[in-house]
Structures are given as C-alpha cells and as structure tokens.
Amino acid sequence: MAEEATLELQTAAEIEPEPEKAAWADACDEARKWYNEGLNLSDNSAREVAYYQRAIELCPDFSAAHNRLGEVYKSRGEYESALEEFNQAKKWSLLREPGTDQRGDRSLLVQQYINQGEVYRMQGRYDLAAGQYKRALKINPGSRLAMNKLQYVNKLSGKYDDLLLPLLQTMSSPIFTRQPGMALPKGIFSAGFLVRWWTQEATLSEDMFVGGLPDPFRPALPYERSTDVLQVVLDLRYGLTDNFTIGLFPRWSTIWFDMQIDASAEEKVTGIGDTNLLTKYQFFKTRNTRISLFHLLSIPTGDEETRAGQFNTIVPLGSGSFNFTPGIALTTKKEYLEAPLTIHSNISYRFTNDEWVGDELRCDLAFSYPFSPDINSFLELNYRWRDSFIHPQTITVGRDRPMFSGGQAQFETAIEEKSGHTLFLSPGFQFILYKDIRLNVGAQIPLIKPEGGWAEKFVLNFGLRGFWDKNWW
C-alpha cells in the first residue's frame, strides 16, 4: 500500500507562469467534461474508469476525479488501487481546486478519509479504519457518516469504550452549566479540576440583624462588606454503566473578608469546604439528544465555624449540614452552518436547613459552537434564586468611643441574608488538547443582582479535564 501523502500548502513560487497557467486551466476544464461523463455512467464499468483516468491525465490534481476513481476501484474489490487514488485525492484536496489558485474543499477531504476507512474496513483492518474515521471527525466533528462508521468498526473490533470519542467531540461539556445531559459510558473515568475566583459585595443594614443591634453600633450602619474567594474544585467521575455515572467533587477555598466597621483590617481563612457526591442516570438518548436525572448530595466535610484574624471572626468554609439537590439535564445537537451547535440545559433545586446557606433554584442554558476542530466557543445564561437564611456572625466595630476598650469592640449576633435573583451572562472557550484533555476558560458577568444580598461582581473560571479508558494509553 502506498504511504499516505503529506498535505502541504502550495507556495507562491510553485505557481506556474501565466501562459502555462492558462493552458493548465484549459486542460482542467476539459478534464471536468470527462469527469462528468463518468458520473453520468456511474455503473462501475471499465468505461467509467477510463473516463476518470482521462480526466486525471489532463488534470493530475483533480481531487474529485481521484476520489471517484477510488470509489469505483473499491466497489470492484481492487482495494490497493482504491487506496492509492484516495491518497492522491487527499494530497490535492487542500492544495487547490483544479484550474484555479483556490484552496480545495475540506468537506471533500472528509469524504476521502471516510472512503479510505471503508477500504480498510472491507479488508478487516479495523484499527486503520477507525483511524481514518477519527481524522474525518477531527476536520468535521459533526459528520454523522464518520461517527456511524466509527461506531460500527468499534463494535466489530469489540472496542465499545472507543464510542466515547465521537460522543464527547460532538457534545462538548459546558463550563458554568453544572450538569450536561450525557452520562459517561461504562468504564470511562474523567478527572479534572476547576479554579474559580470571585468577589462579593453587599450592604450590611440594621434590619438584617436578628434581635436588633445595641445603640452604640447603630451609627456605624449601613456598612459595605466585601469578600474575595479563590476556590479549587476537584472533579472526579466514573461510568458504572453506559447510563449511570457517579462523581465526587471535594473543594478547597481561600477567603479574604472584611467585616469590620470603621476599621480596615482584611482577614483570611483557608481550608476544605463541603464535598458533593453526584449520581446521574441517563434515561433517554437518541443519536443527538441525551436527557438525564441527577442528584448532588452535599456532605459537610468543611468547617462551618472557621475563625480567623485577631478578633476570631466566623467565616464558614462549610454548610454544616447535608444538602440535597435533585435536577434534570438535557443535551442536544443541531446542525448549523455545516457544524454542530450543541445546546445544554438543566434545572435543579437545593434543599437546605437554612443555616449558613439557603435553598437555591438554578436554571442554566448553554450554547456551544466549534470555531475549529480543537476550539469550542460557549455562551451561557445562568439563573439562580436563593432563599433567605440566617447565620451567626462576629461584627467588629472600630470607632473611638469611651465605652470601647482600645477604641474597638465586638458584637456576636446573627445575620439574615436576604433572598434574591441573579442572572449571569457567561462567555467562554474550550480548547481540546492532547487526545481527550480539555482546557476551559470563561467568565460570569451578572446582568441581574439581588438587592441587599450577597452577589458576585463577576466570576472567573479556569479548568482542565480529561477522559481515560483502558485503551487511552
């Protein structure tokens, strides 16, 4: 078998002089006539072969003629000749159109990879066939034909786990929309991490203090408080069956906070927060659509009474209780401008005991469109409603008054965080690195924020995630 030709772009120095170019264009025009005569026959006869051979003789870089001649050889069982013609077709596909200086059509190159894969499949060389289909999907992740062919040869060779590749390439995972509709296939392990940073600001007013506030403290209110958070979340998932996935998400946080009135001494706490346990069941799937039920169990592994700073101010790293979040998620893929537009959506509700955190309703909608085989763009809308909740708090007042020793005093109280609505617009990008390792970057920008409650000014996200199976290495 002839070795696959390397695709190289033609440089300006390789373009023929004007008279030769004109003659070349005329010859290629004549070649198209012979090519069309062959298409009119389309009977895989020796006469059809002769028409394509004449077209190639007149215009050697006529990619479509090489491709069609290879298809005829394939149907006649002349596999080595077919592979040679498909190699020639791929060689010229990206160089130029016959008779012009224009680059060729990449969609034709996809077809040539599929055709060559078909020859390998007919020869029983399933690994080589799968390689050609994957190359076709690399150029056009939305090619249903290449996906179906790859699934078929993987079943023939018993490599069911390899079905993950086209599924994940054509249905990319969103960045801020927490759960997509897909489940991991059986035996597939996914590992990664997320790094998130955000800042919050809110007004601390007198009506938020449960039981009221002593008179000496009232003149200092209302007060603008602020918090900066750096959070790292480990993302571990495993496919127990083709439809059932489990996951574990421990988190680590560093929180910078300012809860002092009339004093400017920012404090910091660092530690482990709550851990989420995921169970997901995919109950509906078609070629392009997946729907799953999921549940997140928040396990109180963090310290909800972490104290820091010279005044031992309480800054919780955990919720202090088990929280339950059931939900439903959908992922579907549509063809748009010859590329897959992937749509993710989910809705969930978190049930809590209203201490440290409140109940929460989330509705997410994400759109993903590939800029190239290795870059996906995202645009998401993330809606969140949080119920009010009450938590203990240490307030430090730094006003120079005779009744305060050293000019500062503390007040142990409880604060009611008000309920409110938040709507984020969230753009981002996903870069497909080596094999199935993905890099995500994105930002959340609040369009609607609650009045008087905790609200992020913005959220920055950086993540890395990979997929592994026994054949990955």
Q: In the CATH hierarchy, which top-level class contains the domain 174-468?
A: mainly beta
What is the number of alpha carbons within 13 Å of residue 211 lying toward its C-beta? 10
Average pLDDT, the chain: 77
- Count Cβ atoms below 10 Å from residue 84 Cβ, excluding itself: 17
The answer to whether residue 385 scores a pLDDT higher than 60 is yes
Rounded to 10 degrees, the C-alpha dihedral 67/148/470/251 comes to 120
Query: Which residue shows structure tokens 């919050």?
Result: 200
Q: Which CATH number fits domain 12-169: 1.10.940.10, 1.20.1250.20, 1.25.40.10, 3.30.2450.30?
A: 1.25.40.10
Contact yes or no for 241/252 (Cβ under 8 A): no
Q: pTM for the whole thing?
A: 0.64
pLDDT in the model for residue 22: 54
Mean pLDDT (whole number) for 342-355: 88
pLDDT in the model for residue 188: 81
The answer to whether residue 18 scores a pLDDT higher than 60 is no
The answer to whether residue 384 scores a pLDDT higher than 90 is yes
Please write the tens of the pLDDT for every residue from 282-297.
999 887 788 999 999 9
Residues 6+ apart with CB under 8 A from 121: 129, 149, 152, 153, 156
pLDDT band at 17 (very low <50, low <70, confident <90, very high): very low
Q: What is the spatial distance between Cα 472 and Cα 302, in angstroms, rounded to a whole number?
A: 35
Q: What is the spatial distance between Cα 279 and Cα 88, in angstroms, rounded to a whole number?
A: 50
Every domain of the chain and the residues it spans: 12-169, 174-468
Reduced to 3 states, what is the DSSP secondary structure of residue 371? strand
Taking alpha carbons only, the member of 115, 127, 34, 38 closest to residue 81 is 115
What is the percent of the chain with per-residue pLDDT over 90, rounded to a whole number? 20
Q: What is the spatial distance between Cα 106 and Cα 408, in angstroms, rounded to a whole number?
A: 72
pLDDT in the model for residue 307: 65
The answer to whether residue 230 scores a pLDDT higher than 70 is yes
The answer to whether residue 156 scores a pLDDT higher than 50 is yes
* Helical axes 46-58 vs 63-75, angle rounded to 10°: 160
Can you say whether the dihedral through the CA atoms of 231, 170, 139, 164 is positive or negative? positive
